[in-house]
Every structure is written in structure tokens, then in C-alpha cells.
Amino acid sequence: MSPFSDDMPSLRRILQQCRSIAVVGLSAEWHRPSYFAAKYMQAHGWRIVPVNPRYAGRDVLGEPCFARLTDIPFPVDMVDVFRRSEEVGPIAEQAIAIGAKCLWQQIGVKNVEAAERAHAAGLDCVADRCVKIEHGRLFGGLNWVGVNTGVISARRPT
């Protein structure tokens, strides 16, 4: 059985339930994908928790940045990974240790072994998908500019 929760109902549930996102690898540079994905989610009501040793102790997107997930002094729901696939293993272990609900690996990131460990510990796991794109696809926005989202409905999901 696959450790990934990547069907539409699971993605919708994850995005509805996980309201705080620790973004591992979040850059303070506005043109980086991690920055504009996090900024989009922040603008749509999510609490963003930057995790990047390069910026630890500084603010990114108006939030204090931490060097590691285990340095965060409060619970987070989702760990969103903007790192190479081979670096996800230790991040998954930290996500398990802090009690996160979901390990989300961004587009181009897929570490099956790390996802299997996280899934065995009770976390939802998503790989090779963007939180920002999935939010727009499932909760409206992408279809307004002509993108076929695969969601057919006369009503917006609640």
C-alpha cells in the first residue's frame, strides 16, 4: 500500500485540517518558489513557520525563523519540504518527533522511504505536489484563469 495521501479527498482534508505549516527550506528571497508558495498560503489564512538554518533568529514573512523543526516551541500541523529528496529522511524523523500531522514534499521532491516511516508513525504524506497549487486547484482560483483543475462542481467546497 502506498504511503501517499494524494487523492483529491485526502488533499482537501489535509488542507482543511492543517492550519499551521512549517516550511523547511523557506527562503527569504522573494523570487524563490518556497517564498511565494509560503506567502500565498499565509495570505489565505495559514500560519507559516519558517525553518532554515541560514535565517535562524531572523524574521521571514514576518515570522521568526528556526534552524530545525525540533527548535519550534509550539505545535505545527504540516511540514512542507523544499529540500532535495535525499535530505527528507532526517526531516521526516523530526516531523514525527514534533507530532506533525502531515509530511508534504514539494514538486520534484519524493523520498518514499521517509514517507513510509512518517506514514507508519501516523502522518499523512504527500509528495511531488505544491501546497499552493493544490489549494488553488481544490478550493478555487486556478479555474478562474482557464486551468482545467479536474474538479467539476457548481458549488465551491466548504
Q: What is the pLDDT of residue 154?
A: 57
Confidence band, pLDDT 50/70/90 cuts, at residue 1: confident
- Report the CATH number at residue 102: 3.40.50.720
* Residue 43 lies inside a defined structural domain of this protein: yes
Across the range 107-116, mean pLDDT stands at: 97
Q: Does residue 63 lie within any of the structural domains?
A: yes
Query: Within a domain: residue 1?
Result: no
Residue 151 lies inside a defined structural domain of this protein:
no
Count of the separate structural domains present in the chain = 1
Q: What is the mean pLDDT of residues 22-33?
A: 96
> Mean of the pLDDT values across residues 82-86?
98
Please give the mean pLDDT across all residues of the chain: 92
Per-residue pLDDT at 67 exceeds 60? yes
Residue-wise pLDDT for 118-134, tens only, equals: 999 999 999 999 999 99
The answer to the question of residue 152 being in a domain is no
Are the C-beta atoms of 37 and 107 separated by less than 8 Å?
A: no
pLDDT at position 156 over 80: no
135 grid coordinates: 489549494
In a domain, 103, yes or no: yes
- Strand runs labelled E in the chain: 20-24, 47-51, 59-60, 63-64, 78-81, 102-105, 124-126
Q: Which domain holds residue 65?
A: 8-143
The three-class DSSP label of residue 66 is: strand
